[in-house]
Structure 1
Amino acid sequence: MQKTKKLPLNSLQLQQHSTLMTLHSDDKFTQSKLPNIQFLSIEQLQCLLDFCPIPVLKTEDEGLYILLAAMPLIEIIRSHDASLKLNTSLIIYDEAEPVISTLALIKPALLAPEFRSLPQQLHIRQCKTTSVFTP
């Protein structure tokens, strides 16, 4: 049975699970430097964090959790100057294997068709944003 916990983002220490590291070891995507997100407001950053709780295992060390899914967004958000004011949610699991296999294999397989068209969808949404949010 999983539990949830909310805590300040700056107090969170994450260590990737060894199985997760093995599964992602041959992934081709690498980001040499974090994108500049300083233009995002604290409200936008908090919204992003609220939308993606972090799946973890608890450790004996206070504040240290074992990460059960690839979460590059967390490191990107931590690079923002206002990250000290943000809170994040954890989903604390008792077992790693079912969570890792679901999030590393099943979820991407289900979302693959959506991601193929993502660049085109983002372009269309950006064009629409101009007309929707401009009075």
Structure 2
Amino acid sequence: MAKYRKVALNTINFPFHRLLQEMLEADHITLKKQGDINRLELRELQFILDNCPISVCQTAHSNTFELLALSPILDICRYHTQSNKLKVSLNICDADDASCIISSLNITKLALEYPTYHRTPALLFHRYQQAVQMGLMQSTKNELSAFAQVTPSALRAPQKRS
């Protein structure tokens, strides 16, 4: 059974579990310049972190933890000038379950979410338009496109096929 612990973001620097490290060797992701993360309110980032617990397992030899899944949001949040005020939830898993958790979170979850997120620019465009109409939007379309690392013109409604 997993245990949860909340810790300051700036206090964690966990290595990947050896199986995760091996799985990710062939990953080649090229990131562009990230949007100005300081434009986001600290509470907005904290809401995101509260909904993204970080799965870790304790190493057998010491009282340290290893990451069981990629969590790019951690690195992104560290760029905020007030990141020292952010907290992250650790989902501390049993080391015996590490291989199943790594497979589930890094492959199965990715496959299950693909139908929703493979159209991310169109989805962002639709949600942005709705949020503007509802008066909820704080970021501009240009800022969102910078966060998503796409051009602003990529955030548009999908083309209808004839």
TM-score for both structures, normalised by structure 2: 0.75
Q: Determine the structure 1 residue equivalent to 2:41.
A: 41
Corresponding residue for residue 24 of structure 2: 24
Amino acid at match of 1:82: Q
Q: Distance in 1 between matches of 2:22 and 2:129?
A: 40
Aligned counterparts of 1:19 and 1:35: Cα–Cα separation in 2: 32
What letter matches 2:45 in structure 1?
L
1:7 maps to amino acid: V
Moved more, 33-42 or 100-109: 33-42
Aligned to 1:85: 85
Bigger Rg, structure 1 or 2: 2
The residue that corresponds to 1:74 in the other structure is 74
* Inter-CA distance 19–10: structure 2 relative to 1 (3 Å threshold): same
CA distance in structure 2 between the partners assigned to 1:33 and 1:53 by the alignment: 25
Moved more, 111-120 or 97-106: 111-120
Q: Distance in 2 between matches of 1:126 and 1:52?
A: 22
- Mean alpha-carbon deviation: is it higher for 78-87 or for 16-25? 16-25
Give runs of aligned pairs for residues 1-135 of structure 1, distance below 5 A: 1-31=1-31, 33-59=33-59, 60-61=62-63, 64-95=64-95, 96-133=98-135
TM-score by length of 1: 0.89
Q: How many residues align?
A: 132
Q: In the alignment, residue 88 of structure 1 is paired with which amino acid?
A: V
**Matches of 1:75 and 1:33 in 2, distance apart?**
13
- The structure 1 segments of at least 4 consecutive aligned residues displaced by more than 4 Å after TM superposition are none
Instruction: Please tell me the residue identity of whatever aligns with 2:105.
Output: L
Amino acid at match of 2:124: L
Distance 1:65 1:78 in 2: 19
Unaligned runs of 5+ in 1: none
The CA deviation at 1:116 is 1.7
Structure 2: how far apart are the matches of 1:33 and 1:116? 21
The structure with the largest strand share of the pair is 1
Q: Encode CA deviations 1:72-95: one digit per residue, 9 max, x unaligned.
A: 110000110111011110000112
Q: Any idea what SS the aligned residue of 2:39 has?
A: coil
Identity across the alignment (%): 35
